[in-house]
Amino acid sequence: MTGAAETAARVRGGASSAAAEVRAALRAVERGDARLNAFAEVWPEAARARAAEVDAALARGADLPLAGVPIGVKAWEGTRSLQARRLIAAGAVPVGATSVPGPGTPWRTWGATGRGRTANPWRADVSPGGSSAGSGAAVGAGLVPLATASDGAGSTRIPAAWCGVVGYKPTTGLLPARDPAGLAIGGPIARSVADVRLWASVVLGAAAVEHDARPGAGVGGPRGLRVAWSPDLGFAEVDPEIARVAHAALLRWARRSPAPALGRPGAASPLNAAGGPLPRPGAAVGDGGGAVSVGAAGGSVRSGEWSPGVDEDVSGVPARGSGRGSGRVPGWGEEPGPVGEGVVPGTVGGGGGAAGSLGGPARGAAAWCGPQGVGGAVAGADRTGAAGRGVPSRTGAGAEIRVVAVDPGCVDPAAEWFARRAVRGGRESRADRAGRSARPGGTAEDHNNNRLDALFASADLLATPTTPNPPHGHDGPGDVMSVALTWLFNITGHPAVSLPAGFTADGLPVGLHLVAPHHRDALLLAAAADYEAACPWPPTSSPVPNQPSQTPA
């Protein structure tokens, strides 16, 4: 299946029709979803009728930027969420409701249908993430090119990371909150950054994707793009392999050197052979070629370089969460559940799809920033003439990327997150907020906002792994808090995107998480497009269902 932008262009140009694209999507769902369980419901009759309306509107001269694009809609949101309504008005055609978690677990990084648990398209024995589980799985398997999601603690970004696709959380406030606490916001899961930017132009408006594309400006302007790297935000426990894969992808982007074609994970690579700890603040990485530099936060990195102002003493600010090393919280996994706005045709949880196989696309030759794809950039293989080379991006010019390792000094936001969910039906009164902020040291939220403000005063972006852990099994994450690196930004409201970074040694996708200052969504998406140009990933995620197809009911 082609991407949303390509599909719309084909339909708008007369090379295809909405009816044909929807027929193809329904066939893909019928063949693939019997083993994937990404769709809680499929709506073939409604989808065909809507496709006919789109074709008729095009014949009348309507301008529909998403003409004929088949989409999935998250079951808790349905077709009545603001993002879904705007997508449909732009010509998108919902083909079904994607799965979400069922009752009975405090962790929400999973999904289920009436036929069983939703499988990860890369490995059927692990979860696709959640709570937008079916949206991630459906896009990751190529059943649809775009699906709606919502993110109150990471529910868009985590499934995107674990399914090897793109997930975007806009700046809080650009869309109506999806929960009374004001933490959850709608967003897309898509197969490419181009499709995310198309979503943003339709749902958020052109300003959300407009960015300075003057020749020589790059995504970061004449000074280049300054990226602060933190594997743990100062408090989370992160699997070392996850941190290595995400960090290597970031350096691959910065070096912009060609990578070898992606093989299946598991083969030896220079990166895996080198091993060793990730750089800490103050450590130099690589040979210094090109625009890559890793230096001490607050210290002098190199003449003309930069350093985030986040090194001041914070010993007097108490941690309101469980403190450094608190990336594990027993029983916690993701956001709570439906908020009541979404309505979908029929009853969610009924059968959808027909007998068939999960299948998957053929192996692609596109280079990806996985262990095999980045090893040369990290360990020295095939660097000739590559350091610092600009790769044309969707912004019109390749950016000079400067990377600095930092310790942002943030503290665990768990207590703040739960407090916001608990007070007065979710929304904290100004009086209560003022009372908490007046306490000695303020709140963890105050502390984290101050730290991020200081970081973004000197950095354009913050980069982390999307999750601290690989996809967990269908029995749950245990005591691992999968949201450890995402839910902070639901509290602070910063825009963030998860991008495919590569694989673990046993073949599970890893996400690279980019965070931008408030209302710098255009910069964030331009940078994501630049990353994609330097580190292209396979057009669909799962080459083969390489684990047993049975998933728990």
CA separation for the pair 436, 452 (Å, rounded): 20
405 residue type, one letter: A
Angle ∠(469,369,137) on CA atoms, nearest 5 = 55
CA separation for the pair 408, 235 (Å, rounded): 9
* Token couple for 26: 């329904």
Active site members = 74, 131, 155
Strand duo 401-405 + 185-190: pairing? unpaired
Strands (E), 102-145: 112-113, 116-117
CA separation for the pair 238, 219 (Å, rounded): 29
Residue 489's nearest CA partner among 197, 241, 167, 127 is 167
Residues found in the chain: 553
CA separation for the pair 155, 129 (Å, rounded): 8
Residues near 210 by beta carbon (within 8 Å), at least 6 away in sequence: 522
Phi/psi of residue 455, each to 5°? -65, -50
How would you class 316 by CB atoms within 10 Å of its CB: exposed for 0-12, middle for 13-18, buried for 19 or more? exposed
How many other CB atoms sit within 10 Å of the CB of residue 313? Answer: 7
Angle ∠(149,516,446) on CA atoms, nearest 5 = 95
